[in-house]
Amino acid sequence: MATLSGVAKRYGTGTLAVEGVDLALARGDFLALLGPSGCGKSTLLRMIAGLIDPSEGSIAFPADAAARKSIGFVFQEPTLMPWATAVRNVALPLELAGTPRREAALRATDMLARVGLAGFENAYPRALSGGMKMRVSIARALVTKPRLLLLDEPFAALDEITRFKLNQDLLQLWQAERFTVVFVTHSVFESVFLAERIVVMAPRPGRIVTELAVPAEDRATPEFRTSAPYAAHCREVSHALESAMA
């Protein structure tokens, strides 16, 4: 789906945020970018989204050039328009692309129901809880049926319980639709629970140090989050992260 080769980003301030990143994303991947604060995860994600250009190297969408235009993005904060209701917020990407208002509203309503917010169409963001706002944000990212979904620490600001629930729901949506996901996090547990591919990054300069896999068979274990394979993967990823930072 996307191929990053030799990607580097130096900001105007002189900070070398990431350097020498090679990464191939296959269709249907669920990939977690894991690393300590400041290792360039957000920078990398924003380059994949095309929001900023790499200073060196290239990001190509070889097999599927249209995928570059089919991206959903979820920020760390819900980033909703406070003056618009939930349904208008979700309908925004469709309306910007010229979908008639009514059709956009219908599709947005469907999407809200899929993230568990049926009945909250006409609520304004300030009337929603943190978790609900995040769901609206996810619905907005998915309403265009993107092939690539990019999430930048989407649940970092939420409490553990809400976060757990949203992780499960995201996983279900992914299993149903099989879009490609890049999920930025600095939680080892979250990365192992969600992702099949875990890419570990290190700072100064931001770079990829190793990649680990969580096979689908392991994930299929019932009660995965409390299973032995889960614990084993968490330990493995933690070690990788520690040696990356050493």
Q: Which of 15, 79, 210, 227 forms a contact with other proteins (CB under 8 A)?
A: 79
Q: Which does 11 bind (CB under 5 to 8 A by kind): Mg ion, other proteins, ligand ATP, none?
A: ligand ATP
φ, ψ dihedrals at 116, nearest 5° = 85, 25
Q: Which of 124, 164, 174, 224 forms a contact with other proteins (CB under 8 A)?
A: 124
99 binds Mg ion (CB under 5 A): no
CA distance between the termini of the chain: 33
Residue with tokens 């894991």: 34
Q: Read out DSSP for 154-177? A: TTTTS-HHHHHHHHHHHHHHHHHH
3-state secondary structure of 144: coil
Q: Which phi-psi region, left, alpha or beta, contains residue 243 (left: φ > 0; alpha: ψ -120 to 50)?
A: alpha
Q: What is the DSSP letter of 140?
A: H
147 binds ligand ATP (CB under 6 A): no
Distance between CA atoms of residues 128 and 86, nearest Å: 9
Q: Which of 12, 14, 126, 161 forms a contact with other proteins (CB under 8 A)?
A: 126
> Nearer Cβ to other proteins, position 89 or 189?
89
Q: Which does 222 bind (CB under 5 to 8 A by kind): ligand ATP, other proteins, Mg ion, none?
A: none
Q: Which of 4, 8, 17, 42 forms a contact with Mg ion (CB under 5 A)?
A: 42
Distance between CA atoms of residues 179 and 168, nearest Å: 16
Q: Within positions 12 to 51, which residues make up the interface with ligand ATP, using CB under 6 A?
A: 13, 15, 17, 35, 37-43
- Angle between helix axes 130-142 and 86-96 (nearest 10 degrees) is 20
Q: Which residues bind ligand ATP (CB under 6 A)?
A: 11, 13, 15, 17, 35, 37-43, 186, 206
Q: Which residues bind other proteins (CB under 8 A)?
A: 46, 49-51, 69, 71, 73, 75, 77, 79, 81-84, 92-93, 96-97, 124-126, 144
Q: Which residues bind Mg ion (CB under 5 A)?
A: 42
